[in-house]
Structure 1
Amino acid sequence: MSETPTAPVVERVDARHRYEILVDGKRAGVAAYRDRGAQRVFFHTEVDDAFAGQGLGAQLVQQALEDVRESGKRIVPVCPYVAKFVQRHAEFADITDPATPDVLRWLEAELG
Protein backbone atom coordinates (compact mmCIF):
# COMPACT_ATOMS: atom_id res chain seq x y z
CA MET A 1 0.00 0.00 0.00
CA SER A 2 1.41 3.42 -0.94
CA GLU A 3 1.60 6.28 1.50
CA THR A 4 -0.91 9.09 1.19
CA PRO A 5 0.81 12.38 0.39
CA THR A 6 0.61 14.96 3.15
CA ALA A 7 -0.76 18.46 2.64
CA PRO A 8 1.84 21.09 1.74
CA VAL A 9 3.26 22.96 4.73
CA VAL A 10 4.46 26.58 4.76
CA GLU A 11 7.20 27.51 7.23
CA ARG A 12 8.91 30.83 7.94
CA VAL A 13 12.69 30.36 8.03
CA ASP A 14 13.95 33.56 9.64
CA ALA A 15 17.63 32.59 9.42
CA ARG A 16 17.32 32.44 5.62
CA HIS A 17 14.86 35.36 5.27
CA ARG A 18 12.22 33.32 3.49
CA TYR A 19 9.10 31.26 3.66
CA GLU A 20 9.31 27.73 2.31
CA ILE A 21 6.56 25.44 1.12
CA LEU A 22 7.26 21.77 1.75
CA VAL A 23 5.60 18.86 -0.02
CA ASP A 24 6.19 15.52 1.66
CA GLY A 25 9.15 17.08 3.48
CA LYS A 26 10.79 18.40 0.29
CA ARG A 27 11.17 22.12 -0.33
CA ALA A 28 8.98 22.90 -3.32
CA GLY A 29 9.21 26.68 -3.31
CA VAL A 30 10.33 29.83 -1.53
CA ALA A 31 9.20 33.41 -1.00
CA ALA A 32 12.23 35.51 -0.08
CA TYR A 33 12.02 38.69 1.98
CA ARG A 34 13.95 41.23 3.98
CA ASP A 35 12.56 43.15 6.93
CA ARG A 36 12.78 46.94 6.82
CA GLY A 37 11.51 48.12 10.19
CA ALA A 38 7.79 47.31 10.30
CA GLN A 39 7.79 46.26 6.64
CA ARG A 40 8.42 42.81 5.19
CA VAL A 41 9.73 43.39 1.67
CA PHE A 42 9.07 40.40 -0.61
CA PHE A 43 11.50 40.38 -3.54
CA HIS A 44 11.48 36.85 -5.01
CA THR A 45 9.07 33.93 -5.21
CA GLU A 46 9.87 30.65 -6.91
CA VAL A 47 8.35 27.18 -7.17
CA ASP A 48 10.53 24.31 -8.38
CA ASP A 49 9.61 23.09 -11.87
CA ALA A 50 8.89 19.60 -10.49
CA PHE A 51 6.01 21.11 -8.48
CA ALA A 52 4.65 23.55 -11.07
CA GLY A 53 0.95 23.75 -11.83
CA GLN A 54 -0.24 22.63 -8.39
CA GLY A 55 -1.14 26.06 -6.99
CA LEU A 56 1.75 25.95 -4.55
CA GLY A 57 2.93 29.49 -5.31
CA ALA A 58 -0.46 30.92 -4.38
CA GLN A 59 -0.64 28.80 -1.25
CA LEU A 60 2.87 29.86 -0.25
CA VAL A 61 2.18 33.56 -0.72
CA GLN A 62 -1.26 33.41 0.93
CA GLN A 63 0.14 31.85 4.07
CA ALA A 64 3.21 34.11 4.09
CA LEU A 65 1.02 37.22 3.90
CA GLU A 66 -1.26 35.88 6.63
CA ASP A 67 1.85 35.41 8.78
CA VAL A 68 2.90 39.01 8.07
CA ARG A 69 -0.54 40.21 9.21
CA GLU A 70 -0.33 38.14 12.40
CA SER A 71 3.15 39.52 13.16
CA GLY A 72 1.89 43.12 12.91
CA LYS A 73 4.14 43.96 9.96
CA ARG A 74 3.24 45.43 6.58
CA ILE A 75 3.77 43.96 3.11
CA VAL A 76 5.89 45.57 0.39
CA PRO A 77 5.46 43.54 -2.82
CA VAL A 78 8.60 44.07 -4.90
CA CYS A 79 8.29 40.54 -6.35
CA PRO A 80 5.94 40.62 -9.37
CA TYR A 81 4.18 37.43 -8.24
CA VAL A 82 3.46 38.84 -4.77
CA ALA A 83 2.39 42.18 -6.30
CA LYS A 84 -0.11 40.44 -8.58
CA PHE A 85 -1.36 38.28 -5.70
CA VAL A 86 -1.99 41.36 -3.53
CA GLN A 87 -3.86 43.06 -6.40
CA ARG A 88 -6.14 40.03 -6.69
CA HIS A 89 -6.66 39.63 -2.93
CA ALA A 90 -8.05 42.86 -1.53
CA GLU A 91 -8.01 41.43 1.99
CA PHE A 92 -4.33 42.39 2.15
CA ALA A 93 -4.73 45.98 0.88
CA ASP A 94 -4.87 47.38 4.41
CA ILE A 95 -1.36 46.11 5.23
CA THR A 96 0.31 46.70 1.84
CA ASP A 97 2.76 49.53 1.20
CA PRO A 98 4.00 50.52 -2.29
CA ALA A 99 7.41 49.49 -3.58
CA THR A 100 8.77 53.04 -3.72
CA PRO A 101 12.15 54.02 -5.21
CA ASP A 102 13.40 54.45 -1.62
CA VAL A 103 12.44 50.86 -0.78
CA LEU A 104 14.04 49.59 -3.98
CA ARG A 105 17.32 51.44 -3.23
CA TRP A 106 17.28 50.04 0.31
CA LEU A 107 16.64 46.51 -0.99
CA GLU A 108 19.46 46.75 -3.52
CA ALA A 109 21.88 47.82 -0.76
CA GLU A 110 20.55 45.09 1.55
CA LEU A 111 21.06 42.35 -1.03
CA GLY A 112 24.44 43.71 -2.09
Structure 2
Amino acid sequence: MTEQTTPATAAPVVRRVDERHRYEILVDGERAGLTAYRDREDRRVFFHTETDEAYAGRGLASILVERALTDVRASGMRIVPVCPYVAKFLKKHQEFADITDPVTPEVLAWLDARLGR
Protein backbone atom coordinates (compact mmCIF):
# COMPACT_ATOMS: atom_id res chain seq x y z
CA MET A 1 0.00 0.00 0.00
CA THR A 2 1.31 3.43 -0.90
CA GLU A 3 1.01 6.28 1.54
CA GLN A 4 -0.07 9.58 0.14
CA THR A 5 1.07 12.73 1.80
CA THR A 6 -0.38 16.13 1.34
CA PRO A 7 2.07 18.99 1.03
CA ALA A 8 2.48 20.90 4.26
CA THR A 9 1.51 24.51 4.13
CA ALA A 10 4.34 26.93 4.65
CA ALA A 11 4.67 28.74 7.95
CA PRO A 12 2.78 32.03 7.97
CA VAL A 13 4.77 35.12 7.06
CA VAL A 14 4.17 38.50 8.69
CA ARG A 15 5.23 41.65 6.88
CA ARG A 16 4.97 45.33 7.71
CA VAL A 17 3.44 47.37 4.90
CA ASP A 18 4.31 50.94 5.85
CA GLU A 19 2.56 52.64 2.94
CA ARG A 20 -0.74 51.01 4.02
CA HIS A 21 -0.09 51.44 7.78
CA ARG A 22 -0.51 47.78 8.60
CA TYR A 23 1.04 44.40 9.19
CA GLU A 24 -0.21 41.53 7.06
CA ILE A 25 -0.04 37.80 7.64
CA LEU A 26 0.39 35.63 4.57
CA VAL A 27 -0.39 31.93 4.26
CA ASP A 28 1.00 30.29 1.13
CA GLY A 29 1.50 33.76 -0.34
CA GLU A 30 -2.12 34.85 0.23
CA ARG A 31 -3.05 37.60 2.68
CA ALA A 32 -4.97 35.94 5.51
CA GLY A 33 -5.29 38.89 7.86
CA LEU A 34 -4.03 42.29 8.95
CA THR A 35 -3.60 44.60 11.88
CA ALA A 36 -3.81 48.33 11.11
CA TYR A 37 -2.03 51.18 12.87
CA ARG A 38 -1.13 54.83 12.76
CA ASP A 39 2.07 56.24 14.22
CA ARG A 40 1.92 59.14 16.66
CA GLU A 41 5.39 60.30 17.56
CA ASP A 42 7.06 57.27 19.18
CA ARG A 43 3.81 55.32 19.59
CA ARG A 44 2.23 52.85 17.21
CA VAL A 45 -1.54 53.06 17.72
CA PHE A 46 -3.21 49.78 16.72
CA PHE A 47 -6.88 50.28 15.88
CA HIS A 48 -8.10 47.27 13.86
CA THR A 49 -7.26 43.58 13.43
CA GLU A 50 -9.00 41.10 11.15
CA THR A 51 -8.55 37.58 9.81
CA ASP A 52 -10.21 36.37 6.63
CA GLU A 53 -12.96 33.85 7.43
CA ALA A 54 -11.28 31.24 5.21
CA TYR A 55 -8.37 31.23 7.69
CA ALA A 56 -10.35 31.44 10.94
CA GLY A 57 -9.51 29.14 13.84
CA ARG A 58 -5.82 28.72 13.01
CA GLY A 59 -4.43 31.15 15.58
CA LEU A 60 -3.23 33.48 12.85
CA ALA A 61 -4.40 36.69 14.57
CA SER A 62 -2.30 35.82 17.61
CA ILE A 63 0.77 35.12 15.45
CA LEU A 64 0.20 38.36 13.54
CA VAL A 65 -0.15 40.54 16.62
CA GLU A 66 2.76 38.91 18.46
CA ARG A 67 5.11 39.51 15.52
CA ALA A 68 3.81 43.04 14.99
CA LEU A 69 4.40 43.92 18.64
CA THR A 70 7.84 42.36 18.51
CA ASP A 71 8.59 44.59 15.52
CA VAL A 72 7.36 47.64 17.45
CA ARG A 73 9.75 46.78 20.28
CA ALA A 74 12.65 46.31 17.85
CA SER A 75 11.85 49.72 16.32
CA GLY A 76 12.15 51.38 19.74
CA MET A 77 8.50 52.43 19.70
CA ARG A 78 5.64 51.98 22.13
CA ILE A 79 2.19 50.37 21.72
CA VAL A 80 -1.25 51.92 22.19
CA PRO A 81 -3.93 49.17 21.95
CA VAL A 82 -7.11 50.85 20.69
CA CYS A 83 -7.99 47.62 18.83
CA PRO A 84 -9.94 45.29 21.16
CA TYR A 85 -8.06 42.23 19.89
CA VAL A 86 -4.65 43.81 20.52
CA ALA A 87 -5.80 44.92 24.00
CA LYS A 88 -6.99 41.37 24.79
CA PHE A 89 -3.70 39.91 23.49
CA LEU A 90 -1.71 42.26 25.73
CA LYS A 91 -3.62 41.15 28.84
CA LYS A 92 -2.41 37.59 28.19
CA HIS A 93 1.11 38.58 27.12
CA GLN A 94 2.64 40.67 29.86
CA GLU A 95 6.03 40.58 28.13
CA PHE A 96 4.89 43.69 26.21
CA ALA A 97 3.64 45.62 29.28
CA ASP A 98 6.84 47.67 29.47
CA ILE A 99 6.18 49.24 26.05
CA THR A 100 2.39 49.61 26.29
CA ASP A 101 0.72 52.99 26.87
CA PRO A 102 -2.92 53.46 27.88
CA VAL A 103 -5.66 54.45 25.47
CA THR A 104 -6.69 58.00 26.36
CA PRO A 105 -9.47 60.29 25.08
CA GLU A 106 -6.72 62.42 23.50
CA VAL A 107 -5.37 59.44 21.55
CA LEU A 108 -8.88 58.46 20.45
CA ALA A 109 -9.61 62.01 19.21
CA TRP A 110 -6.27 62.11 17.39
CA LEU A 111 -6.98 58.72 15.77
CA ASP A 112 -10.48 59.75 14.68
CA ALA A 113 -9.03 62.86 13.06
CA ARG A 114 -6.33 60.83 11.28
CA LEU A 115 -8.89 58.35 9.98
CA GLY A 116 -11.41 61.02 9.04
CA ARG A 117 -14.18 59.72 11.28
TM-score of Structure 1 vs Structure 2, range by shorter chain: over 0.9
TM superposition outliers: structure 1 runs of 4+ over 2 Å? 1-4
**Alpha-carbon distance in structure 2 between the residues aligned to 1:101 and 1:54:** 34
1:2 is displaced (CA, Å) by 5.0
What secondary structure is seen at the aligned counterpart in 1 of 2:10?
Answer: coil
What do the CA deviations read for 1:20-65 (whole angstroms, capped 9, x no partner)? 0000000000000000000000000000000000000000000000
User: Could you tell me which residue of structure 2 aligns to residue 30 of structure 1?
Assistant: 34
Stretches of structure 2 that go unaligned for 5 or more consecutive residues are none
1:12 is displaced (CA, Å) by 0.3
| Matched residue count | 112
Residue 82 of structure 2 is aligned with which of 78, 84, 90?
78
Report the TM-score when normalising by structure 1: 0.97
Stretches of structure 1 that go unaligned for 5 or more consecutive residues are none
RMSD: 0.9
User: Could you tell me which residue of structure 2 aligns to residue 18 of structure 1?
Assistant: 22
**Alpha-carbon distance in structure 2 between the residues aligned to 1:80 and 1:68:** 18
What do the CA deviations read for 1:41-95 (whole angstroms, capped 9, x no partner)? 0000000000000000000000000000000000000000000101110000000
Q: How does 1:42-61 map onto structure 2 within 5 Å?
A: 42-61=46-65
1:3 is displaced (CA, Å) by 3.7
**Alpha-carbon distance in structure 2 between the residues aligned to 1:8 and 1:65:** 16
Does 1:63 find its partner at 2:67? yes
User: Could you tell me which residue of structure 2 aligns to residue 100 of structure 1?
Assistant: 104
